[in-house]
């Protein structure tokens, strides 16, 4: 009977190694790729990471075993399928993790993930990191420019003080699970490959609680509100997140806490517009100063400064004040403040001012109309040629 074809990639290609790679080469490549594509380290594209991780684990499960590798080199994927080779489709990452590294006492294969993710206590679930939390914060542009420390209040789980987080009534202890004999997992065979899954009775903990703690009802946790100080670096922009390591939810089975991610939004300023490290402000300038030159006072985030306005400055022209913009969040200097000139035309003129302007218009040979006291209706009639 012909063997069904497969669309799987070559295992050597998956691990990025040559066919004459040594066991150490295989192990090294797997360690690097597993670390890169583990879903816990790729929260933004977890689905893609899971598929990559499964592919990498499947390739390693074959190439790291001398007998399986010989069979694969001789028959390829078709030969492996025909002989009951590994297939990780539809299998969770936790099952894969456990199949390699879940046994009590570790063993040779377990040392790889001990290096990658900090080891485990021999149970199925291990010391899993807690969930990360999200908090959104608004700050002013001035706070972004100088940097600030803000106090936030969040709700998160804390270990129960009554039972110290083990979930058992004081004076008692959790007992080993009878179903999995304290291992936290149960094994099932898939061809010649053994998969280990979380114990359905204890959920992978390897222990059960006969007398739950009355305070936390056996969960080992209590929801509390806590206050934390968040350092906001100078120069931070809207949409940037600040990470507080270890301030998220507590981990499973004594694992480390997750992180707290504070997403910062900088409010729009009344006068300044931000463009990366630079700031922009519009300043009105009298048309006489725009023509003849002069000085104006410009507000900055550090106080008022004097800005020279060159002769013949046009409306809309940009003048620069170097180093008076926003600081770089990484400490690489400061941006500039750009002043956009808005030339103001006076709405009311004295008789003397009007005469002076008419003399200027005559010198420039500009045809201007004499002062008219006609009403708006009269002007409309003139426009349409009505008598």
pLDDT tens digits for 231-260? Answer: 999 999 999 999 999 999 988 767 788 999
- Residue 189: count other Cβ atoms within 10 Å of its Cβ: 9
N- to C-terminal Cα distance for the chain?
A: 105
Cβ neighbors of 31 (< 8 A, separation 6 or more) are 112, 115, 116
Q: For domain 11-90, is the CATH number 2.60.120.560? A: no
List residues bridging with 138 in a β-sheet.
Answer: 265
CATH 2.60.260.20 residue spans of the chain: 128-169+214-267, 273-345
Q: How confident is the model at residue 127 (pLDDT cuts 50, 70, 90)?
A: low
pTM above 0.85, yes or no: no
pLDDT at 49 over 70: yes
Using the predicted structure, report yes or no on whether residue 96 has a pLDDT greater than 70. no
Positive or negative torsion for Cα 4, 6, 12, 18:
positive
| pLDDT score for 97 | 58
Give the lowest-confidence range in 57-61, 170-174, 280-284. Answer: 57-61
Is 156 within 8 Å of 135 (Cβ atoms)? no
CA distances from 148 to 106, 111, 235, 245, 269 (A): 47, 44, 10, 19, 17
What integer best gives the mean pLDDT of the chain?
Answer: 81
Looking at domain 273-345, its CATH class is: mainly beta
Residue 67 backbone phi and psi in degrees, to 5: -65, -45
Average pLDDT over residues 349-372: 75
**For 262, how many CA atoms within 13 A lie in the half-sphere containing its CB?**
25
CB of 336 closer than 8 Å to CB of 278: yes
Helix (H, G, I), strand (E, B) or coil at 229: strand
Query: Quick check: helix, strand or coil at residue 226?
Result: strand
The pLDDT-based confidence of 116 (bands split at 50, 70, 90) is very low
List every span in the chain annotated with CATH 1.10.287.110. Answer: 11-90
What's the pLDDT at 140? 96
Report the CATH number of the 128-169+214-267 domain.
2.60.260.20
């Amino acid at each position: 009977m012909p063997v069904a074809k497969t669309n799987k990639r070559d295992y050597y290609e998956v691990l990025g190694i040559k066919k004459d790679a040594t066991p150490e080469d295989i192990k090294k490549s797997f360690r690097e790729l597993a670390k890169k594509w583990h879903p816990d380290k790729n929260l933004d594209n977890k689905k893609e990471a899971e598929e990559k991780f499964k592919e990498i684990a499947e390739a390693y499960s074959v190439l790291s075993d001398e007998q399986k590798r010989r069979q694969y080199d001789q028959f390829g994927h078709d030969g492996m399928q025909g002989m009951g080779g590994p297939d990780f489709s539809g299998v969770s990452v936790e099952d894969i993790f456990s199949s390699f590294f879940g046994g009590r006492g570790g063993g040779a294969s377990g040392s790889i993930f001990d290096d990658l993710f900090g080891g485990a206590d021999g149970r199925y679930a291990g010391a899993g990191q807690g969930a990360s939390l999200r908090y959104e914060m608004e700050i002013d542009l001035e706070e972004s420019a100088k940097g600030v420390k803000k106090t936030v209040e969040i709700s998160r789980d804390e270990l129960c003080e009554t039972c110290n987080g083990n979930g058992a009534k004081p004076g008692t202890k959790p007992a080993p699970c009878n179903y999995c004999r304290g291992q936290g997992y149960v094994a099932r065979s898939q061809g010649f490959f053994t998969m280990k899954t979380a114990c359905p009775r204890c959920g992978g903990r390897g222990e059960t609680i006969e007398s739950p703690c009355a305070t936390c009802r056996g969960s080992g946790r209590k929801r509390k509100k806590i206050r934390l100080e968040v350092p906001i670096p100078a120069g931070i922009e809207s949409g940037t997140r600040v990470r507080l390591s270890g301030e998220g939810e507590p981990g499973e089975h004594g694992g480390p806490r997750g992180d707290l991610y504070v997403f910062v939004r900088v409010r729009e300023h009344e006068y300044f517009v931000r463009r990366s490290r630079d700031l922009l402000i519009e300043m009105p300038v009298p048309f006489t100063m725009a023509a003849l030159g002069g000085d104006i006072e410009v507000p900055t985030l550090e106080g008022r400064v004097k800005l020279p306005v060159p002769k013949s400055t046009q409306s809309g022209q940009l003048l620069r004040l170097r180093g008076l913009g926003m600081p770089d969040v990484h400490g690489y200097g400061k941006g500039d403040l750009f002043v956009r000139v808005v030339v103001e035309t006076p709405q009311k003129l004295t008789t003397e001012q009007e005469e002076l302007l008419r003399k200027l218009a005559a010198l420039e040979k500009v045809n201007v109309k004499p002062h008219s006291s006609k009403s708006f209706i009269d002007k409309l009639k003139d426009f349409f040629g009505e008598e």
